[in-house]
Structure 1
C-alpha cells in the first residue's frame, strides 16, 4: 500500500502547501529566482499535490490552460518512490477528462527519461530556462504520434518498454544501432528484465551476425539475463524481404517503421488493435525463424 496520496488542490486555499514544496525544490535547491517561480498562470491552473501519510505536502504539479504540464516537484527524501509518476498520471487523467488531444511540457534534461517512460516525445532544440537546460516534450492522448528523429525514436522505445506488462516483441534488422544500443533504451530494457514479473523479450533479426560483429550492448545485457531475452533470425525468403521494423508490447503500445533502416514511423501507447496485429504478425514469423544458436557461445 502506498504511503502517500495524490489529490487535486485549489490554488487559493492550497497555495501555502504548494509553496512549501515548490520553493524547497526550485528556489532553495535549484536556485531558481523566487520571482520566476510564481506566475500569473498559477491561479488559472489545475494543481495536484502529493501528501505523506500524515497529510504533509511532498510533491506538486500543475496543468495550465495552455495544455502544458509543469512545476513538477518532489521533496528529496521522496524521490524514486513513485510520487512523480503518480502525480503525472493524475495530471494526464485530468487532461483526458478535458478531451485534450495532446499535452506538452518543458522537461529538465535530467528528467527526460522519466517523461519518456510515460510516453512523452522530445521535439525542437534544447534551451535554457531559469538557468537550467530544458527539452520540450509532448504526449498524444489520442492517435499515433509521428517519429522522425533518433531522440524521438529512443523516447518511443523507452515508453513502450516501460509500459509493457510481461512481453515485448522486437522486429529489427540488426539490433538498430543508435536505437537499441542507446543508454536510455538499454536501461529501460534492463529495468523490465529485472522487475520479477516473468517478463519476456523476443527479438527477431534479419541479420544475426551484425550485432555480434558490432559487439552490440544489448547482447551483453541478454547474456546476463538469459531467461528473459530470446533471439531468432528470419530464414524464409519472404520474411527476409520484409522492409519494416517494429516494437510492440502486451499493453496496447507499438512503434512501427515502414523502412527498418530508418527511424521514421509512428508510435502509440494506446492502440491495442494495432499492437495486437503486429504481435500476431511477429508470432507467425517467429515460429518459422531459426533460433540464434551461435549466441549460445555467449551464454545467451
Structure 2
C-alpha cells in the first residue's frame, strides 16, 4: 500500500502493482496538456487496463493541445498481445505518438510517466513494482524530460504499430 512520505505531502512511496495502477491513473486524470511515458514493454498490468485506456482516451480528447508520447524499449510483447493502448494510439494518431527506443536511457532499469511540468511517477526497476509518485516534482521532472526528449529524437516508429488503411 502506498505510503505518504514525511518529506512532502505530494510524495507517495509506491510498492506493488495496485499502487502503480492507482497513481498512474491519478496522474493521467490530473493532467492538462502533455504526457510522456518511458517503459520497457508497455506493461499490460498498468497500461493495458480498461480504466487506463479510458482515462488516456478522455485526456487525449480533453483539448486540442494535448500531446501524448510513449517510448518503448521492447515492442514485441505489445505487438504479440495486440495491446489495447496501441489500438487506441492507432485510432488517435494525431494525439498519441508511440516510438521504439534506439538509444538506451542512462538508467536502463527505470520507467516513468511525466505529466505536464510537475507530475512524476517513477519506477526504480521495471522488474519490481517499487517507486514513487510526486504531484509537485518540477525540479525532479526537468532532467527526466530532457532525457526523454533526447531519446525521443533518436527513437523510431514501430512499423508493426502502423495502421494500414486500404
Q: Same fold (TM over 0.5)?
A: yes
Q: Normalising by the residue count of structure 1, what TM-score does the alignment of the two structures yield?
A: 0.50
Select the residue among 61, 65, 79 that pairs with 1:198: 65
RMSD over aligned CA atoms reads 2.2
CA distance in 2: counterparts of 1:232 and 1:208, whole angstroms: 9
Select the residue among 27, 41, 44 that pairs with 1:160: 27
Q: CA deviation at 1:210?
A: 1.8
C-alpha contact (below 8 Å) 1:193/1:200 kept by paired residues: yes
2:17 matched to 1:142?
Answer: no
**Which ranges of structure 1 fall in alignment gaps of 5 or more residues?**
1-122, 124-136
**Map of 1:88-167 to 2, 5 A cutoff?**
123=1, 142-167=9-34
Q: CA deviation at 1:267?
A: 0.7
2:55 matched to 1:188?
Answer: yes
2:97 matched to 1:230?
Answer: yes
Secondary structure in structure 1 of the residue aligned to 2:102: coil
Indicate the residue corresponding to 2:83 in structure 1: 216
CA distance in 1: counterparts of 2:10 and 2:69, whole angstroms: 26
Tell which has more relative contact order, 1 or 2 (C-alpha 8 A, sep 6+): 2
2:121 matched to 1:255?
Answer: yes
CA distance in 1: counterparts of 2:118 and 2:154, whole angstroms: 25
Q: CA deviation at 1:250?
A: 1.1
CA distance in 2: counterparts of 1:239 and 1:273, whole angstroms: 19
Instruction: Please say which structure displays the higher CA radius of gyration.
Output: 1
Q: CA deviation at 1:218?
A: 0.5
Q: CA deviation at 1:183?
A: 2.1
Count how many residue pairs are aligned between Structure 1 and Structure 2: 163
C-alpha contact (below 8 Å) 1:156/1:267 kept by paired residues: yes
Alignment CA distance shift 1:221-1:206 (3 Å):
same
Indicate the residue corresponding to 1:28 in structure 2: none
C-alpha contact (below 8 Å) 2:40/2:73 kept by paired residues: yes
**Which ranges of structure 2 fall in alignment gaps of 5 or more residues?**
none
